[in-house]
Structure 1
Amino acid sequence: MKVDLSNDFKEKYRNLMGERAEKLFSAIQEDSQDAFRLNPLKANYKNVAYPLDEPIEYSPIGYYGNIDGNSIDHISGYVYSQEPSAMYVTEILDPAKDDKILDLCAAPGSKTTYIASKMASQGLLVSNEINSKRAKVLSSNIERMGITNTVVTNNSPKDFEKKFDNFFDKILVDAPCSGEGMFRKDPESTQYWSLDYVEQCANRQQHILDSTYKLLDNGGTLVYSTCTFSPEENEQNIDWFLKKYPDMHLVEVKKYAGMEDGRPEWGNNNPELKKALRMFPDQFNGEGHFMCKMVKDGEKSEIKERQINTGLKKDDLKFVSKFAKANLNGLSESNWLKISDFLYQAASLDSRFKGLHILRNGLKLGEFKKIDLSLTSHGC
C-alpha cells in the first residue's frame, strides 16, 4: 500500500535533512520489518514453533520474523509481536528485579510486557494507560503473558502526582506522538498528521514530562521515547525539560549499527542531545524511533509501603488457604487481596493506589461464591 505523504511533511524534512530526505521518503514506501519476542516467564520459553535463526542483536529475546496472532504460541503468551526498533527502549531502561517501575503510557503493552519479562515476577511494575479502551487491551496482554508483578491503572499522569511523589526507581514515557515513524506500518495514520498536530503532541508531551519529574525518585532513571521523527517532540522537548529541571541529565546509550546520535541542531544546539538516539528506516532495519535516557541527581529516598486492608476476614483466609493448598500448587499466601468478590495475589498492597482506577492488581486467582471458590484464568 502506497504511503501518501503530504506536501507539508515533505517540505519540512527536505528543509531539515537536505538530500537525505528523499531516501527517507523512499524507505517509508517499503514494507515494514516484522519481529517478535520470546517470553522468559514461561517454562521452556524457547520451545516455540517459530524459527529463531534471525536474532536481533540488541535484544536477547528478540527475533526477526512474522507470527500468527491465532497460533498457540501467541495465545498462550510464549511470543509477542513487537516492532524491532521499539524493543531497544526496554534494553535502555534496564529493569532490575527489585525495581519500582512506572510505564506511564503503556498500552497496548509491548514495552510493559518486555519490562516484566526482565523483572522475573519480582519488584513492582505499574502499567498505566489514560484511554479506557486501550487500558483493557493492556490488561488483557498482561494476563496473556502470565505477568504477576504488575498493577494496571487507567488514570491521567496528574492522578499519580500527590500519591507517588519521588516514588519510582525507573519510569518509561513512551509518549503519545504524531507517529511519523510508523507511517509505513500504518499508512492510514498520515490522514491525521499536520503541522498543528505535531505542535499539539509536543505540548501534551511536556505536560506528561512535568508529571514524570515529580514521580521519579532521586537517583532514578527516566527513559523517554517516541515513534516520530519530529524535532518538536524529541530534541526540542528534551532540551526544554533539561533546562526546566537542571537536576536531570542525559546519559550515553550504546548505539548499534544503523542507530544515530540525536541532533543538537534540532534542539537549540544543546550538545548533550548527541547522547540521545535516533532510528531512521533508510539506515536502520526497523521503524522510526527517538529515545533517550536521563538520570535524576540526589540520594535515593527511603520509601515505606503503607499497607491497605486486604478485605479478607478470618473465615475467608482459612477457606482460601485450604483451597490454595489443594488447587494452586502451594501458591504463596503473601499479598492476598479481596476486591469486590474477586481474590488476587496482589502485586502491591500499598495504600497509595487507593483512589486510582485499577484494572488489575497482580494475579487474579478466583471469584468468591456462596458455596465455593471458582477458579478463573490466571495467565500462567
Structure 2
Amino acid sequence: DNTYNPIYFYVPRRHISYRDRVLIVDDLVESVEELLENIENPVKQLAVELSYPQWFVEVFVHRLGIGETRELLEGLNEEKWWIRVNTLKADVDTIAEKLYEKGVVVRRDKDLDYMLEVIDYNEPLHHLDEMWRGEIVFQDKASAMVVEALQPSENDRILDLAAAPGIKASLIMQLTENKARLVLVDVSWERTRRMLRLLKLYGVDMSRVDIVVADSRDWRPRTTFDKVLLDAPCTSSGTIGKDPAVKIHLEDNSWVTRFPQLQHDLLRAALLADTDAIVYATCSLLPSEGEEHFKKLKHMLREPPIPGSPGYPDYNISRFVKRFFPHKHSTQGFFIASLAKNNP
C-alpha cells in the first residue's frame, strides 16, 4: 500500500529526559527522511513532511503553488501569540512595561495600537496576573480585525449570531467605550454562561447587553440592527499552531464537510436580519468556508476597511474579501467578508 497517512504522537515532555528527547528526535528525523525518499509525488511528500492530510495540502497547491503552500503550512505549524490590551481596564504602555518586567517581550502592532505581538517569554503566558484581572486578552490580531471590519460606533445596535465565548463582543465594547448596544446569541447554554463571566471580567457594561440562548438558524429578532456579526463555527484550520489536534479532525471527512452547510444556514439567517451591514468571518484557510459562500453574493460585497490579503485568486470575488495568513501576517488563518445589503 503506497498511501501514507500522518501519525500524531503526544508524550508530555516532563516524562522524557533531555537525552531521550534528542535520541527520539534523531530517530524520527532519520525515519521521516527515509520515508520521504520513497515518495515521488511532491504534494504527498509535503503532506507527510509537515504532517497534514494530503487533500488539505492539495487545496492550497492548486491555488498558491507548491512553494507558497510550503511557506503557508510551515507558518501554520508555528505557535503565535498576540495580546489585546483591554483599554476598558488598563493602559497599553503600562501593560507593556509590566509584561517586560515579567520576561514577556512584546512588540506594539503597527495597525492596531491595542495589540501586542509576543516576541519571547519565560513563563507560561496563562499564568500572568493581568489575564486573570481582565486587563489583557489572548486574542489573535486577525480575530481583532474581524471586529475592526465591523467598524463599531457609539450607540450602534449590533447583533452577534455566534457570540460565545464573547471575545469579539468585548472588543466591540472596548472600541466603543461601552457605548454600543449588543444582542449576543449562542446555541450553547454552557458557553453562554462562560461568556457572561468573561464579559463581566473584561469590564463590559452589562446593562447594554442582551443575551439570547438560541439556534441562530431558527431564531428571528423582532428589531432592527445597525450591524450584524457572524463569526461562524468552522474547522478552525487556521488555528493549528495553537491547537495541533485540528489536524486529526481534518482526517475526518464527515467532520470537515459539516461546516459549510452550517455556515450557509447561519449566513442566510444573517441576511434575513433587518440590517444593512454584515461581517462574516471564519478562522479557516479553506475556501469552502470562505470564498465559496459569496460567489453568488458579489453584488453585496464591499471590501473590508482593514489590511490583509485578497482572497484566493481563482475566485472573481477575491478583491472584495480579506484573508490573513500565518506566513504573511504572523497571525492565524482567517477569512473576512463585509456585506452591504443595499450596496449600490
The TM-score normalised by the length of structure 1 is 0.68
- Mark the CA change 1:15 to 1:158 in structure 2 (over 3 Å): closer, same or farther: closer
Larger strand proportion of the pair: 1
| Separation (CA, whole Å) in 1 of partners of 2:343 and 2:319 | 24
| Separation (CA, whole Å) in 2 of partners of 1:70 and 1:126 | 32
1:156 and 2:207 aligned: no
Q: What's the offset of the Cα at 1:115?
A: 0.8
| Separation (CA, whole Å) in 1 of partners of 2:167 and 2:190 | 16
Larger helix proportion of the pair: 2
Out of 239, 244, 252, the position equivalent to 2:303 is 252
Partner of 2:200: 143
| Separation (CA, whole Å) in 1 of partners of 2:236 and 2:343 | 35
1:7 and 2:54 aligned: yes
* 1:20-55 deviation per Cα after TM superposition (whole angstroms, max 9, x unaligned): 2222222222x2221111122226565332248611
* 1:129-184 deviation per Cα after TM superposition (whole angstroms, max 9, x unaligned): 212222222111101001112222221114431x335x111111111111111112
Q: What's the offset of the Cα at 1:16?
A: 3.0
Name whichever of 70-79 and 103-112 sits farther off. Answer: 70-79
8 Å Cα contact 1:198/1:232 also seen in 2? no
Partner of 2:76: 28
1:56 and 2:109 aligned: yes
* 1:29-82 deviation per Cα after TM superposition (whole angstroms, max 9, x unaligned): 2x2221111122226565332248611222121111268434332222111111
Give the secondary-structure state (helix, strand or coil) at the position aligned to 2:80: coil
Give the secondary-structure state (helix, strand or coil) at the position aligned to 2:94: coil
1:293 and 2:338 aligned: yes
Partner of 1:318: none
- Mark the CA change 1:45 to 1:173 in structure 2 (over 3 Å): closer, same or farther: same
Partner of 2:171: 114
| Separation (CA, whole Å) in 2 of partners of 1:153 and 1:39 | 25
| Separation (CA, whole Å) in 1 of partners of 2:197 and 2:54 | 40
- Mark the CA change 1:287 to 1:298 in structure 2 (over 3 Å): closer, same or farther: closer
8 Å Cα contact 1:34/1:84 also seen in 2? no
**After the TM superposition, which residues 363-374 of structure 1 pair with which residues of structure 2 at under 5 Å, given as runs?**
none
- Mark the CA change 1:281 to 1:123 in structure 2 (over 3 Å): closer, same or farther: closer
* 1:299-341 deviation per Cα after TM superposition (whole angstroms, max 9, x unaligned): 9xxxxxxxxxxxxxxxxxxxxxxxxxxxxxxxxxxxxxxxxxx
**Cα RMSD after superposing both structures:** 2.5
The TM-score normalised by the length of structure 2 is 0.75
8 Å Cα contact 2:165/2:191 also seen in 1? yes
- Aligned residues, how many? 283
| Separation (CA, whole Å) in 1 of partners of 2:133 and 2:108 | 22
Partner of 1:200: 258
| Separation (CA, whole Å) in 2 of partners of 1:279 and 1:43 | 28
Partner of 2:319: 274
Give the secondary-structure state (helix, strand or coil) at the position aligned to 1:160: coil
8 Å Cα contact 1:4/1:187 also seen in 2? no
8 Å Cα contact 1:171/1:216 also seen in 2? no
| Separation (CA, whole Å) in 2 of partners of 1:214 and 1:72 | 43
Partner of 2:225: 168
- Mark the CA change 1:140 to 1:5 in structure 2 (over 3 Å): closer, same or farther: same
| Separation (CA, whole Å) in 1 of partners of 2:312 and 2:53 | 24
Out of 35, 44, 64, the position equivalent to 1:17 is 64
1:87 and 2:144 aligned: yes
Out of 233, 239, 249, the position equivalent to 1:182 is 239
* 1:267-313 deviation per Cα after TM superposition (whole angstroms, max 9, x unaligned): 4xx3x4311011121222111111111112189xxxxxxxxxxxxxx
Q: What's the offset of the Cα at 1:195?
A: 4.2
Structure 1: any 5+ residue segments left out of the alignment? Answer: 300-380
Structure 2: any 5+ residue segments left out of the alignment? Answer: 1-9, 11-48
8 Å Cα contact 1:198/1:233 also seen in 2? no
**Aligned residue identity for 1:64:** E
| Separation (CA, whole Å) in 2 of partners of 1:186 and 1:210 | 29
**Aligned residue identity for 1:160:** W
| Separation (CA, whole Å) in 2 of partners of 1:130 and 1:3 | 35
Out of 228, 231, 242, the position equivalent to 2:287 is 231
1:283 and 2:328 aligned: yes
| Separation (CA, whole Å) in 1 of partners of 2:179 and 2:336 | 26
Q: What's the offset of the Cα at 1:123?
A: 3.0
| Separation (CA, whole Å) in 1 of partners of 2:210 and 2:126 | 25
Partner of 2:277: 221
Partner of 1:262: 311
8 Å Cα contact 1:128/1:154 also seen in 2? yes
Q: What's the offset of the Cα at 1:3?
A: 6.6
| Separation (CA, whole Å) in 1 of partners of 2:113 and 2:76 | 27
